[in-house]
Structure 1
Amino acid sequence: MPTDLTNVKYVAIAIAIAVVLLAVANWAYYKYYFVPTQVGNDSLFNRQFLSFMPGLKRQDLEEYQLDEELWSCSVCDFQNLHLKPVCLLCGTRRDTRFIEIHGVSTPAKPATVVRSSSSNYLQVTSTRASSLHATASRIYSMAFENVVLPEDLNAQQRSARMRKQWVRLHDVHGVVRWTRRFLDAAQVPDAHVIQMNTPPLPSTPPPSSSGNLSPVVESPRTTHQSSIDCASPNDLLQKLHQAPTEDCHVIMWQPLDTTPANVTVLGSVVPPATASSLLEISKLPFYMKYAWFLHQVHDLVVPYDELHIKVKVMRDAIVQEAVENLLSYPPRALCAIVRYEFTGESAQDAGAVQREWCFLCYISGIITLGRYMLVSEGLLVEANGLFVVLNREDNSYFINPNSSHAWRHPNHMDHLKAFHAVGRFLGRSLLDGQVIPMHLSPVLLKAILGVPLTLDDVEGLDRTVHKGLLYLLDHDNAQDLALTFSVSETHGHNTVVEVELVENGHLRAVTDANKAEYVRLMVRYLVFGRVEAQLSALLQGVYDVVPPELLMPFDHKEFELILCGLAEVDVADWKANTVTSSNLDNSSPLQWFWEVVEAMSPVDRSRLLQFATGSSRVPVQGFKGLTSYDGEICRFTLKGVPYEGGAYPATHACYNRIDLPLYPTKDMMKEALTMLLLSDPTGFTIE
């Protein structure tokens, strides 16, 4: 009997050793000899990938990170998650120290022209003071490492720094008011807000919006809301009704001191209790505000079983169809779930077609008419005439003042209707959580939010013009410049028209006595007057979809972050939030894939991301925030598939998935991914 027990014991040990050796051999085979003849019955392969996901929504992710440690950027004061090495808003590194030199500043005096450039936030009254500032800057640069001085800030950092110039605060009486935290151009401190108001009666002249300045010669501009009353979602796709409704608004340039801070862009008054609550929300870190915002927009969405819209569009007519569809939706349908399908292409819209529609509407519908085009390196073509790049330093887009002549539509649609559709497009992007590569001018972002605008904001449009206005204020003998109270505009291609800032402005010379008034009127003209009709239509479109109260807690850079997401593809974040099939776990192909991605240029990474998800931008929350059409989290997935000669990776953007052949070598994988990036990232022929 003892002998039998001993034999059983040895047999058990031998079996255990064999099992261990078999496991080791199996691991080594899949790591180093990984070319399979067929795919196993992994349950991950045979499921819809959406059902494999955690079942979370965007707003749930924010709640998970509310308790995470934050660090504050020294340049823009944005509070970033502790794992982020650079500021999401301005790109400043975490270890950077921003220094403002206040020792040489001089308070403004009535008899002295005082200038403080928005690039350095200093008040300088003489050449000697400027020299002192330059000397002090050099000393700081030599004394400290990783120091950023005011004059070192780039356009992105300057814009982010300006986000805290204006904040809403309670005054001594508990009333919410706008408060200016710093002032750069002290000579012209006037501040105005842009608001929509009910138009005055025909017999009543429009109120002056220029305060104590001479009135600008202009007529009240109106924009009309167009919609169709539809009996069913299919009716929404009928031809756009061209007749405007009686609902119209007049856009106004309102002096800040006559405009309460609890009045929205649409001119509606927010109740004091609500205004106070929104004020407290505005003081929270961005991630808390964003969590609140996601919950609010989630409640706006019409349940799918109550109303949803199916849209078929042709790629070669993406512009006109997108504009016409957006304008045709009645109010309730603006917040309904929309499923998109490109004619002649098979694709299940779990979000990718919607994301690409947003991308193509931006690239094609906002840039070129009748055809879509993919733009690399963030450069956009201005062929359709709605937007132009005024600031070449940051390549941000502003409304084209010449849009009435430059815009073309097959059905001769008015350019204001196009801007109304653009506004609705922006609103739908916010509602759907679809980030778009739409780098708008800070002035336009502030106008959408209703933030006060001043001479300082002209720098965001055109830094050269801004410097010219400051030069005029800083120097005597203004009459030597031969300026008048008028500006020249180009209408069409060759027609130059003189626009008067005041009545008979072309006859009124700019002198030292009236140059401050001239600058005030130029500020109004540059940021508002020349685009007021287009701006009115765009604002109305945005707030057709999203209530203005939901955006009140955000500054313009936070708003841009929500709208545009992240341009930079963080490979570490991508890798950390990727689901892989079992045959890729701890395998060489998986390691090679990430090595190839890390070695790619930023442009190629963005193209690969667009192949995989339908969008070239990363959500605000990073890769863990990738979603399907209904806002549910849908993580990026890598699925290993058998390698066959000449096989390329297959993308399933509807599910944020890449089917990755198990290539024998890293070079073969790199070559395949390179060839993939050379092809057209749009279009759906699978799933």
Structure 2
Amino acid sequence: MLNFSGSTKKRVVNLGNKKQGYGNKSFLEQSRLQRQERELSKLKEKSAVVIQNHIRKYLVLRQLSSEVINNWLDFNIESREDWNSWIVKFIILCKWYLLKQKSDVTNQVLQLFNERVHDPPFEVNGETLNGLIQSLNFLFSKIEDLSVLDELFTALNGLISRYGVDHSDSVISNLIKYVKLDDKNTDNTIDLIFKINMHDSTNDFFNVLTLDVFDKPNKDYTSILRNEITPNDKTFSGYTQSSLITILYNYLIIQGDGDVFIQKDFEFIGSILEHVHCTLRLNDEDDMDIDEESIANTEVVIITERMSNTLDRLYSSSFVQGAVNLLKNQDPKSRNLALKILPELVNLYPPLKGKICMLLSIIPNCYTWFYETIQQHELFDIFINSKNDYVKVEDLEHLDKHSMESFWQTVFLFEESYSYWLIVSNDLESFKDDKLPLSKVKILLEFLKTVCLTLIFINDSTLFPQFENLKSISIALLKQLYIKNLRMKFLPRDFWFPKKLIFNVDLLLSLIAEEEEKRIQGLNEDEDEVDVGFSRRVKPSVPRDAATKLEVLKKLPFFIAFKDRVKVFQTLIDLDKQRSTDFNPFFYDEPRLTAKVNRDTILEDAYAAYHHQGANFKNRIQVEFYNQYGREIGIDGGGITKEFLTCVVKEGFDPNNAYELFKETFTDNQIYPNDKIYEIIHVGMDQEFQQQRLDYIRFLGMIIGKCLYENVLIDVSFAPFFLNKWCNDNMKNSINDLSYLDRELFVNLMKLTKMTNDELESLDLTFSINIQIDSKAYVFDLLPNGSNLHVNSSNILNYIHQLANFKLNQSLRVQTRYFLEGLFSIISSSWLSMFDCFELQMLISGGESDINIDDWKSNVEYGGYLDNDPSVRMFWEIVEEMTPQERFKLVKFVTSVSRAPLLGFGSLHPKFGIRNSGNDTLRLPTASTCVNLLKLPDYQDKKTMKEKLLYAINTDAGFDLS
């Protein structure tokens, strides 16, 4: 019953499983927490007990260690047994006690050990000695305190110095660590390392030679390296290129300048160089002195000048001669050793490789020996007798790899040294019998042709060691001999043409067109593409055969017919013109680059109008000619432009014009820059006028570029040594090119090489040139302080080369640079690199001394005439009766160009035309040069026609007869 009075008792039911005193947490959770608290408390108690036990043990051990150490320190040695026991206890101390002691305690122990070992009561036997060294080395590896390391080193040094060492793992690696920490005791530490030498790890011992701690020769070290060290093929395989160079450098320092190189030296150096595949460069060396292409795929190691001076010993006459003696040795091991050394030295440091090549060049019959050695190998027969233009992989795979490697190393060394000889020798001595006679050179060229094409078509470093270096020098040497043949003409004209290799010019043109366009547009940036020269790369999708043939065009252009290369050149120009048209579709409606040119001041007016245009000078120009009667009537449809260009060329390159920008050679009247400009600039006279002359020279470079760009042939002959710089990236001319400048000077200089020392001294020649400028004498030194350096038999060759360099390079450098700036603003330098200097001359002015009349007649279009009309037959009879000069004048009268088209009249656009201009026999023949059209009245009389034709072409009336 319910009680409504309010006093009824309440029954509380705990539905949440809660108890008083535990907040809101469940009973189970609280139980878990209490259990954890009890367990943690027990763990703390247990840990405390463990720590207490460890502390007790530590204190006991410390006390024991102290007692052991003190007992050892106080140990009285009266017998050998006592001595051995004392040593054994020391070994135990090193392994178990000393690492836990403070430095002062460890030092106290080591000091006592060093005192007793320094003057031992008894000897230490071998087994105990090894234990001592191992225990000391163990401490050495664990301790960092320098004072302790000093005592440890003293202990090790004392033991090893007194007793030697049979085996000692890792001691040297710890000593190297010590060297790096303590530079005060370096010499003693290195001494100890060399005492241990190969009794420790081979690798550890050679690691010390990677340290920069050697600064003077050491006979003891040299003896150890020569007599106790025998590196094998794998000794240096794991080292970086920089470490290998340091090892080589330190070996040379240790050996010293005064010592003669012996067989052991060559073996040690050869074992290092076998693994060296880098190029050295001084840390402050000018990059312009390095052939970047030749080291593109090679690691570059930077060295100091001190290292360079030491490594220079490898290029000394004694070392090179010793290596050459090994090379000529009948023992295969000696020859292989030389081939490890000499080829790598050639690649190692480009500024010094000339020393090796020079020393080889003065060894009698050296090149003959190389040639005969190469000729005896079966590979030579494979290449020389190949029915194809290059050898295929399957023809080489069956050969012994080691034999092939030795062969190609020999070939490489020969090519490098022979290339040097061709540079320093003149044409009169290049093929002397004690060098390499011409008969053998011709066979060598057959071999080289096949080698170069094989290296281009087969890119396989497993078949050709140092592939890039071998390829580079093979191509360079072949080019040198090609250029020498241009001068000396010892080969038939068809020698350079491939046997079976066919160059599809149309395919090459299409590839060049595609890639040149992509290059210009900047779309061809794939890193995996292949360099071909004209564009930067060819995509991998391009057939390998086509890509390699493009490489031939770039690197060995003379393998491709001249006319085919002219087609490539003209295609590149057409592409460039097409880009201008595509860029501006209204190009033909644009105002052209106009100029008003007076016939009396052609050069000045042309310069004023166009010299500032730069690359814009490629665009169409429009010229109005003026003479004493006023403006000439002709309308410029292209003919006046050609007339303008030829007139500027005639005036600008005339050596007798007011500016005297160019000169003529003594014998052939060929044009080259006036060297007086350089001389006047050099002495600091009339700088403003000389700058104006240089600006005119740059403009004339633009004019020549425009002539090439517009396919306008000009009647001017440039000196080959000047043209060399157009097509070979401003190359340096050599002594052989001096014959083009002054044949008499060249011959007289060659006579100097035959004179005795007394005869040379009687001439009182110095390394200087006396020059007259405005009646005042100036001295130009060929070398620093050259006027005080007298010429004698020891330096006569250097004098001749320095004189040739001054005449052909130095005195023309600034003028040539300005000219090429103008030329290359219109025509890319890479386009001209397809031609040699003589081909470039043909590209400029045509190659024939007369006109091919049959070709002319076969490529004429008639208007108002038939090809069998009497007037037409009379015209061609008259042409055949003309002199070559008259025929050239006739061609100029019609086309504004005095030369026949380079690729024949079939390539002339528009075609050469002859149109019937009526029956008025009183009229003279006229021409529309813009369309190459001769307007020929129907004279019906041969005599009248001839008189009128000759009068018209000789009048030189400009465009008043148009």
TM-score, normalising length from structure 2? 0.42
Partner of 2:623: 340
Amino acid at match of 1:358: L
Query: Among residues 734, 748, 751, which one is paired with 1:454 in the alignment?
Result: 734
Q: Could you tell me how far 1:517 is from its partner in structure 2?
A: 1.5
Alpha carbons of structure 1 residues 411 and 685: separation in structure 2 relative to 1, 3 Å = farther
Q: Could you tell me how far 1:516 is from its partner in structure 2?
A: 1.6
Alpha carbons of structure 1 residues 576 and 269: separation in structure 2 relative to 1, 3 Å = closer
What secondary structure sits across from 2:675 in the alignment? coil
Q: Which 10-residue stretch deviates more, 291-300 or 472-481?
A: 472-481
Kindly indicate whether the alpha-carbon contact (under 8 Å) linking 2:596 and 2:605 is maintained by their aligned counterparts in 1. no
Partner of 2:553: 280
Amino acid at match of 2:576: L
Is 1:468 the counterpart of 2:748 in the alignment?
yes
Is 1:527 the counterpart of 2:800 in the alignment?
no
Query: Among residues 576, 582, 586, which one is paired with 1:300 in the alignment?
Result: 576
Kindly indicate whether the alpha-carbon contact (under 8 Å) linking 1:482 and 1:510 is maintained by their aligned counterparts in 2. yes
1:220-247 residue CA offsets vs partner (Å, 9 max, x unmatched):
xxxxxxxxxxxxxxxxxxxxxxxxxxxx
Query: Among residues 486, 496, 502, which one is paired with 2:768 in the alignment?
Result: 486
Is 1:543 the counterpart of 2:824 in the alignment?
yes
Is 1:395 the counterpart of 2:666 in the alignment?
no
- Listed as ranges, the gaps of 5+ residues in structure 1 are 1-106, 137-149, 151-163, 187-261, 368-379, 627-632
Alpha carbons of structure 1 residues 621 and 294: separation in structure 2 relative to 1, 3 Å = same
Kindly indicate whether the alpha-carbon contact (under 8 Å) linking 2:614 and 2:825 is maintained by their aligned counterparts in 1. no
Is 1:670 the counterpart of 2:946 in the alignment?
yes
Q: Distance in 1 between matches of 2:621 and 2:614?
A: 14
Query: Among residues 351, 364, 370, which one is paired with 2:638 in the alignment?
Result: 351
Q: Distance in 2 between matches of 1:339 and 1:605?
A: 28
Is 1:364 the counterpart of 2:651 in the alignment?
yes
Query: Among residues 595, 605, 613, which one is paired with 1:329 in the alignment?
Result: 613
Is 1:685 the counterpart of 2:942 in the alignment?
no
Q: Distance in 2 between matches of 1:661 and 1:412?
A: 52
Is 1:560 the counterpart of 2:847 in the alignment?
no
Query: Among residues 417, 421, 425, which one is paired with 2:695 in the alignment?
Result: 417
Partner of 2:305: none
What secondary structure sits across from 1:346 in the alignment? coil
Partner of 2:467: 173
Kindly indicate whether the alpha-carbon contact (under 8 Å) linking 2:914 and 2:936 is maintained by their aligned counterparts in 1. yes
Kindly indicate whether the alpha-carbon contact (under 8 Å) linking 1:320 and 1:409 is maintained by their aligned counterparts in 2. no
Q: Could you tell me how far 1:674 is from its partner in structure 2?
A: 2.5
Partner of 1:123: 432
Q: Distance in 2 between matches of 1:109 and 1:651?
A: 65
Q: Which 10-residue stretch deviates more, 342-351 or 307-316?
A: 307-316
Within 5 Å, give how 1:95-134 maps onto structure 2.
109-110=362-363, 118=427, 122-123=431-432
Query: Among residues 313, 332, 349, which one is paired with 2:597 in the alignment?
Result: 313
Alpha carbons of structure 1 residues 398 and 591: separation in structure 2 relative to 1, 3 Å = same
1:626-647 residue CA offsets vs partner (Å, 9 max, x unmatched):
2xxxxxx111111123333533
Partner of 1:5: none
Alpha carbons of structure 1 residues 312 and 279: separation in structure 2 relative to 1, 3 Å = farther
Q: Distance in 2 between matches of 1:652 and 1:425?
A: 23
What secondary structure sits across from 1:498 in the alignment? strand
Q: Could you tell me how far 1:117 is from its partner in structure 2?
A: 6.2
Q: Could you tell me how far 1:271 is from its partner in structure 2?
A: 7.1
Q: Could you tell me how far 1:620 is from its partner in structure 2?
A: 1.0
Q: Distance in 2 between matches of 1:185 and 1:547?
A: 22
What secondary structure sits across from 1:123 in the alignment? coil
Is 1:650 the counterpart of 2:926 in the alignment?
yes
Q: Could you tell me how far 1:384 is from its partner in structure 2?
A: 3.4
Q: Could you tell me how far 1:398 is from its partner in structure 2?
A: 1.3
Q: Distance in 1 between matches of 2:785 and 2:425?
A: 32
What secondary structure sits across from 2:843 in the alignment? helix
Alpha carbons of structure 1 residues 421 and 276: separation in structure 2 relative to 1, 3 Å = farther
Alpha carbons of structure 1 residues 272 and 531: separation in structure 2 relative to 1, 3 Å = farther
Kindly indicate whether the alpha-carbon contact (under 8 Å) linking 1:347 and 1:654 is maintained by their aligned counterparts in 2. no
Amino acid at match of 2:606: A
What secondary structure sits across from 2:766 in the alignment? coil
Structure possessing the higher relative contact order (Cα contacts under 8 Å, 6 or more residues apart): 1
Q: Distance in 1 between matches of 2:900 and 2:689?
A: 36
Amino acid at match of 1:583: Y
1:179-204 residue CA offsets vs partner (Å, 9 max, x unmatched):
13466999xxxxxxxxxxxxxxxxxx
Amino acid at match of 1:118: D
Q: Distance in 2 between matches of 1:434 and 1:634?
A: 14
Within 5 Å, give how 1:25-40 maps onto structure 2.
none
Q: Distance in 1 between matches of 2:687 and 2:868?
A: 54
* Paired residues, number: 447
Q: Distance in 2 between matches of 1:271 and 1:619?
A: 33
Amino acid at match of 1:395: N
Q: Greater CA radius of gyration, 1 or 2?
A: 2
Q: Could you tell me how far 1:397 is from its partner in structure 2?
A: 1.1
Alpha carbons of structure 1 residues 540 and 653: separation in structure 2 relative to 1, 3 Å = same
Runs of 4+ residues over 4 Å off in structure 1: 107-117, 119-122, 167-172, 175-178, 182-186, 268-276, 380-383, 404-413
Q: Could you tell me how far 1:270 is from its partner in structure 2?
A: 6.7
Q: Could you tell me how far 1:474 is from its partner in structure 2?
A: 3.3
What secondary structure sits across from 1:118 in the alignment? coil
Q: Distance in 1 between matches of 2:954 and 2:917?
A: 22
Partner of 2:659: 384
- Listed as ranges, the gaps of 5+ residues in structure 2 are 1-359, 366-420, 443-448, 457-463, 485-530, 540-546
Is 1:442 the counterpart of 2:720 in the alignment?
yes
Alpha carbons of structure 1 residues 353 and 528: separation in structure 2 relative to 1, 3 Å = same
Structure (1/2) with the larger strand percentage: 1
Q: Could you tell me how far 1:557 is from its partner in structure 2?
A: 1.9
Kindly indicate whether the alpha-carbon contact (under 8 Å) linking 1:323 and 1:365 is maintained by their aligned counterparts in 2. no
Amino acid at match of 2:649: Y
Partner of 1:580: 862
Amino acid at match of 1:401: D
Kindly indicate whether the alpha-carbon contact (under 8 Å) linking 1:176 and 1:275 is maintained by their aligned counterparts in 2. no
Alpha carbons of structure 1 residues 583 and 111: separation in structure 2 relative to 1, 3 Å = closer
Q: Could you tell me how far 1:676 is from its partner in structure 2?
A: 2.2
Partner of 1:607: 889
1:355-404 residue CA offsets vs partner (Å, 9 max, x unmatched):
1111101111332xxxxxxxxxxxx7565311111241x32111111136
Q: Distance in 1 between matches of 2:789 and 2:882?
A: 58
Q: Which 10-residue stretch deviates more, 337-346 or 406-415?
A: 406-415
Q: Distance in 2 between matches of 1:572 and 1:613?
A: 18
Kindly indicate whether the alpha-carbon contact (under 8 Å) linking 2:653 and 2:671 is maintained by their aligned counterparts in 1. no
Kindly indicate whether the alpha-carbon contact (under 8 Å) linking 1:425 and 1:542 is maintained by their aligned counterparts in 2. yes
Is 1:621 the counterpart of 2:895 in the alignment?
no
Structure (1/2) with the larger helix percentage: 2
Q: Distance in 1 between matches of 2:483 and 2:614?
A: 45
Q: Distance in 2 between matches of 1:672 and 1:435?
A: 26
Partner of 1:199: none
Q: Distance in 2 between matches of 1:654 and 1:121?
A: 51
Alpha carbons of structure 1 residues 683 and 514: separation in structure 2 relative to 1, 3 Å = same
Amino acid at match of 1:549: S
Kindly indicate whether the alpha-carbon contact (under 8 Å) linking 2:782 and 2:802 is maintained by their aligned counterparts in 1. yes
